[in-house]
Amino acid sequence: MESPAKILLKNANVLIDGLPELQQSSDVLVADERIVAVSRTPVSCDDAKILDIGGRTLMPGLIDAHAHITGLSLTPRNASYPPAEIAVAAGDYMRSSLMDGFTTIREAGGADHSIARLLAERKIVGPRLFYSGRALTQTGGGADFRTPDEVDDPCGQPGPLSIMSVIADGVSEVRKAAREELRRGASQLKVFVSGGVVFPSEAHPTIYEYSLDELRAIVEEAQSRGTYVMAHAYTDESVRRCLLAGVRSIEHANFVSEETVAMMADSRVYLDLTFISLVQRIESAPATGLPEGIVENLKKTVGKGRQVYQWAKSYGVPLALGTDLWGFEARKSQLGELEMRIGLDSPADIIRSATRINAELLNQQGKLGAIAPDAYADLLIVDGDPLSDLTVVTNPQQHLKLVMKGGIVYKNDL
């Protein structure tokens, strides 16, 4: 890991969002953690370390808008694992993500300030972390992982038997729960507004969750801290409720109608469909013993999501890119989210989702997901042109030559 004060990247073909092709033969100067200059004429800096890119592609680091770094397996029910084991798992997840080119992660339930502190102190290595803390779920909601025979957690209090969520009901309770996660440093709030799809039915056990008043209270608490709410919502009813409440980011939404997609465009919310988590569960079903009925439902969910994606494209809904993968083995499929979209979108738009659009979603426009003066120096160098061949990005073992985050080089195979 190298960290000189200044680095001059010379002879790079730069991927700049909005340009139809790479900007050829450019120099990029990095000072400390920021980009200082991007120029097609040679840049001189006597005290900078020079890296000759040799005509390779320089592009922004990728952003995963929906990650679960504390998962130890496919199940989010991790309460029985000791905190140290969860921290090790999170560290492994993040380091591997960074080495695959993800320089930023928006965590969607489970991570907390202790992991963020270890990252800030460089005791673990990984992407920038925007964590949600514990996701809010209602009693019997999508993140209440108790079985019908379970009532209390080991401490004798009602709980979800999970480190990723907290049960809260009623306006006063959800306000308090939201305030607690924000007090603990959550970058944004996560809320469950419908059931999931790893069940026999499309939205078991609920079509929608939380009253409109409860959702509005959660959104209000987030806005009071200058942040926003991301919502797990699969169904038409749940997504419409999110739009009325002022939720900023809709996760999944596979079962919405075209009319609801049009409403999403009018509301200017972000849509994060997370295909790869569904596909990874389908592919791992023989090993994990997932019942055939659930596998068929997951396949149908993927198919419906493809239609929603096309509607979203046609109506101009900003498409984020997240993975929703649980556990270190599942994490190995992280770049598969880009591959899943190859038949649905152009390479340029897929990369845009993973860079500029995700940066806007995180309220980090101009700082992340861009190669421009004053942006963070979160950069990748790859062999080939990702605008014509996306496998340049999705095959890091062969093509990814350098990973830089905040001006620090974590991988250099030039």
**What's the pLDDT at 86?**
81
Q: Tokens for 28, please give them.
A: 């990029």
Amino acid at 395: N
1 found inside a domain? no
Contacts 24+ apart (CB under 8 A), 345-352: 345/309, 345/313, 345/319, 347/386, 347/387, 347/388, 347/389, 347/390, 348/20, 348/387, 349/319, 350/321, 350/390, 351/15, 351/59, 351/386, 351/387, 351/390, 351/393, 352/17
Q: Give yes or no for a contact between 273 and 305, defined as CB atoms under 8 angstroms apart.
A: yes
Q: Tokens for 267, please give them.
A: 């509301």
Backbone angles phi, psi at 21, to 5 degrees: -145, 170
Question: Which DSSP symbol is given to 227?
Answer: -
Neighbouring-strand partners of residue 357: none
Rounded Cα distance, 339 and 328, in Å: 19
Mean per-residue pLDDT for 260-287? 95
> pLDDT tens digits, residue range 147-190?
777 776 554 445 555 678 899 999 999 999 999 999 999 999 99
Residues 168 and 310 in one domain: yes
CATH number at residue 56: 2.30.40.10
Residues 14 and 116 in one domain: no
Question: What is the rounded average pLDDT for all residues in the chain?
Answer: 91
**What's the pLDDT at 75?**
62
Residues 403 and 304 in one domain: no
Residues 179 and 246 in one domain: yes
**What's the pLDDT at 74?**
58
175 found inside a domain? yes
**What's the pLDDT at 199?**
56
Q: Give yes or no for a contact between 373 and 80, defined as CB atoms under 8 angstroms apart.
A: no
Residue 28, Cβ density class (10 Å: 0-12 exposed, 13-18 middle, ≥19 buried): buried
> pLDDT tens digits, residue range 365-379?
999 999 999 999 999
Contacts 24+ apart (CB under 8 A), 275-278: 275/302, 275/305, 275/337, 275/340, 275/341, 276/323, 276/324, 276/325, 276/333, 276/334, 276/336, 276/337, 276/340, 277/323, 277/324, 277/325, 277/326, 277/330, 278/197, 278/302, 278/305
Q: Domain residues for 123?
A: 62-361
> pLDDT tens digits, residue range 352-408?
999 999 999 999 999 999 999 999 999 999 999 999 999 999 999 999 999 999 999
Q: Give yes or no for a contact between 369 and 63, defined as CB atoms under 8 angstroms apart.
A: yes
Residues 18 and 70 in one domain: no
Q: How many structural domains does the chain have?
A: 2
Rounded Cα distance, 399 and 414, in Å: 11
* Among 98, 102, 109, 180, residue whose Cα is nearest residue 145: 109
Backbone angles phi, psi at 69, to 5 degrees: -80, -15
Tokens 């993973």 appear where? 354
Residues 6+ apart with CB under 8 A from 152: 158, 159
CATH number at residue 214: 3.20.20.140
Q: Tokens for 228, please give them.
A: 């926003």
Task: Look up the pTM and report it.
Answer: 0.94
Residues 282 and 230 in one domain: yes
Residues 380 and 281 in one domain: no
**What's the pLDDT at 153?**
55
Inform me whether the pLDDT recorded for 196 exceeds 90.
no
Provide Rg for the chain, Cα atoms: 21
Reduced to 3 states (helix: H, G, I; strand: E, B; else coil), residue 242 is helix
170 found inside a domain? yes
CA distances from 152 to 75, 132, 148, 166 (A): 19, 24, 11, 13
Last residue of a domain, one of 328, 344, 361: 361
119 found inside a domain? yes
CA distances from 222 to 148, 155, 182, 189 (A): 32, 29, 8, 7
Rounded Cα distance, 73 and 382, in Å: 31
**What's the pLDDT at 156?**
44
Residues 208 and 341 in one domain: yes
Rounded Cα distance, 165 and 328, in Å: 20
30 found inside a domain? yes
Residues 108 and 203 in one domain: yes
Rounded Cα distance, 163 and 402, in Å: 34
Pairing of strands 34-39, 49-52: unpaired
Inform me whether the pLDDT recorded for 73 exceeds 70.
no
Residues 28 and 121 in one domain: no
Last residue of a domain, one of 336, 361, 386: 361
Residues 16 and 157 in one domain: no
Residues 6+ apart with CB under 8 A from 290: 198, 281, 284
> pLDDT tens digits, residue range 141-155?
888 877 777 776 554
Residues 54 and 137 in one domain: no
Inform me whether the pLDDT recorded for 230 exceeds 80.
yes
Residue 218, Cβ density class (10 Å: 0-12 exposed, 13-18 middle, ≥19 buried): buried
How close are the terminal C-alpha atoms of the chain, in Å? 14
